[in-house]
Amino acid sequence: MEITNEIVEKHGLKLDEYKTIQKLLKRNPNILELGIFSAMWNEHCSYKSSRIHLKKLPTKGKKVIQGPGENAGVIDIGDNDAIVFKIESHNHPSYIEPYQGAATGVGGILRDVFTMGARPIALLNSIHFGSTTHPKTKSLLNGVVSGIGGYGNCIGIPTVAGETKFNETYNENILVNAMAVGLAKKNKIFYSKAKGLNKAVVYVGSKTGRDGIHGASMASAEFDENSEEKKPTVQVGDPFTEKLLLEACLELMKDDSIIAIQDMGAAGLTSSSVEMASKGSLGIELELDKVPCREDNMSPYEMMLSESQERMLIILEDGKEHHARKIFEKWDLDFVIIGKTNNSKNLTLKYNNKIEGEIPVEILATKAPIYDRKWVKKKVVQKKIAIKQLKKIKLEDALIKILSSPNHSNKSWITDQYDQMVMCDTIQKSGSDSAIIRIHNTNKAIAVTVDSSANYCKSFPLTGGKQVVCENWRNLISVGAKPLAITNCLNFGNPENEEIMGEFAECLEGIKEACEFLNYPVVSGNVSFYNGTNKKNIYPTPVIGGVGLIQNLSNPINHLFKKENSIIILVGKTFGHLGQSCFIKENFSINEGNPPEVNLKNEKENGENVLSLIQKNLVLSAHDVSSGGLLVSLSEMSIASKLGVKIQKPKKLTNLNEYFFGEDQSRYLLEISEDHLTKVEKNLKKNNIFYELIGKTQKRYFEIENEIKLDVNYLSKINNQWYYNY
């Protein structure tokens, strides 16, 4: 077949990239080889527009065993236990085919985790949809939620936390980010680096079909009016087969049979074989006529580019073939030796004893394009919100408006569709600042959470990047966990647009600064570019998944008030910042102003001191103050516990809306018993931590001095009505 410019472009390659391929190969590629370059050189696999910036992130720390570069990150939690975790996007597939797109997103991230030798113990998600009035939103929401629940529930892994947000920026490009967390032994971590010559390369798992061909390339391009035609590029998942694959892999991992292992995710057999060979500076020869296929007459091109799910590629030690085969056949899975390693440093593809393609591995991996794309800084005009009606809005009316809005309503309508308790180690599930998972048969636990803040990042990317890391940090602190490390999923528009690339660069700089200051390294992640349709890009949406350690689970903390007449303390200063707040969004239908400043010194000191108080058992409940400000955070605590509050008005700030709805950072709400108040105040004063005594808990009524007096049951009703009516 003659390779025309049209064929090159259909494969997602630029014409100058094709010329580079010709130069590196010193010949024209055939159609199979072109498809392989298309898979390996797209944004999804090569990170060609982001690698320069990603290198700036802090990736090392005392607890880091494995940082970016493997299937997932690994951190040490003591006692020879390790936590393996990662978050990835499945945005484009989920928009085209919401159920399967979301389901296979879950399946893919699970394989990234158990490929490392970890048993998955928790799933999380961050899902973003367009306006609730958009004609597609309801069906997309239902499909994605069903897909997440369907896959996670069937495979038997709890979906314990997440976030669901709505914004018109996602009308034509939803975001579906899936995170998985697994538990492994520190001395039994498995990697993807090929080693040794003439080692068996083994295909295991499900058979290869024609689903998902060009899936990675599709995920590296913008949508247009013809996006529905891309449904064949969406993979089809089978959680029951994945469960078999999980158990078979973990069983084989009990001994010393495996040299390297890699799941067939994006770009399928192509990426798995190339990545293993590249990391080991070896060659791999594959006999494609041996690949198990579920459809007739599949071509080498289709086999190499298929993204059929529930498949792995394994390199075995000599003499372990029979042992491994018995395990996979016991679990009713395909086990076929389809190739071997060699010293050629080439990817050699044979079909019916004929070489159909041969490419130096380094050309596909280390010599893939790296672009230092032009970008421009966001022009930020420092200004304060100036809305004449600001003082005219009553606290009560504004609060009801926010609590009944789609973004702040109770989301149990969604989370109840997920099995959150399977495996019996979920101590705290969705609805709290962070979920808590017990490390089985121990008294320690991990806390996990995901966060994003698109409005902040759009308005001021540098500050927005810092803020989303800090909010994640606070959410772990609020449940008594010491933050250890993060994974990130960076969702942005077209990187060829200088402004979009500027948003990416500045957000990443903010993430870097916050992670460095907080000693909160990045150990894994994913970049998703080209999120947009017909040149209309989404807001920059970096999603942060955080993991923290609770060393002693004797007194787990959440945001539910525990008793009447306890003291409520606000830790951190309130300045009344309303820029980009949900207060102005919900009450005035505008996004205006700059996000609140992030003081990293305050974040660290306030957080460390709050954590110390929790660890000393001086805190009954805790909650970070974020979206919606102080009044919304107090409401969430009251609604969850069915206990009321009596709060004093501030003496300094003149505008009550600024005080109660301002989204100033570095703040926590703490419930303290009167018996412990003296100790708590002494600790805070000793460490120069600003705090206010703002009120007490009480029975039944949510009360702000001379401004609000509402029955907590009424607040709960308001907070629940949107989802049930949608």
- Give the active site residues: 44, 90
**How many Cβ atoms are within 10 Å of 374's Cβ, its own excluded?**
10
* Pairwise CA distance, residues 48 & 42, whole Å: 8
d(C-alpha 542, C-alpha 464), whole Å: 9
Place of tokens 């599930």: 429
Spatial strand order of the sheet with 258-263 comes to 258-263, 311-316, 200-205, 334-342, 283-287, 346-351, 354-360
**Sequence-separated (6 or more) residues with CB below 8 Å from residue 341:** 194, 196, 197, 198, 199, 201, 277, 280, 282, 283, 284, 315
Residue 390 region by backbone torsions, left for phi larger than 0, else alpha for psi between -120 and 50, else beta: alpha
What does DSSP assign to residue 223? B
Expressed in angstroms, the distance from the first to the final Cα of the chain is: 52
How far, in Å, CA of 176 to CA of 163, rounded?
10
- Two tokens at 497? 């647009």
Q: What is the DSSP string of 320-363?
A: -HHHHHHHHHHTT-EEEEEEEEESS-EEEEEETTEEEEEEEHHH
Judge whether 340 and 218 are in contact, CB under 8 Å. Answer: no
Q: What's the DSSP call for residue 373?
A: -
Radius of gyration (Cα) for the chain, nearest Å? 26
Which regions of 555-660 does DSSP assign to beta strands (E)?
A: 567-571, 621-624, 643-647
Residues 161/430, Cβ–Cβ less than 8 Å: yes
Close Cβ partners of 512 (under 8 Å, ≥ 6 residues apart): 56, 57, 58, 465
CA proximity to 114, closest of 244, 15, 234, 211: 244
Task: Round to whole Å and give the CA distance between 498 and 501.
Answer: 5
The span from the CA of 615 to the CA of 479, in Å, is: 10
Nearest to 695 by CA among 633, 640, 603: 633
The C-alpha atoms of residue 503 and residue 510 are separated, in whole angstroms, by 11
Q: What are phi and psi of 360, to 5 degrees?
A: -55, 130
Whole-angstrom distance, CA of residue 292 vs CA of residue 716: 55
Longest dimension (CA), the chain: 86
Q: Distance (Å, rounded) from C-alpha 380 to C-alpha 211?
A: 45
CA distance 715 to 701: 10
CB contact set of 163 (below 8 Å; sequence gap of 6+): 125, 126, 127, 450, 451, 452
Q: Nearest Cα to 45, choosing from 77, 12, 23, 22? A: 12
Give the tokens for residue 423.
């495996």
- Alpha helices (H) along 115-266: 137-155, 215-218, 239-252
Are the beta carbons of 594 and 610 closer than 8 angstroms? no
The C-alpha atoms of residue 584 and residue 390 are separated, in whole angstroms, by 9
Which three-class secondary structure state does DSSP give residue 499?
A: helix
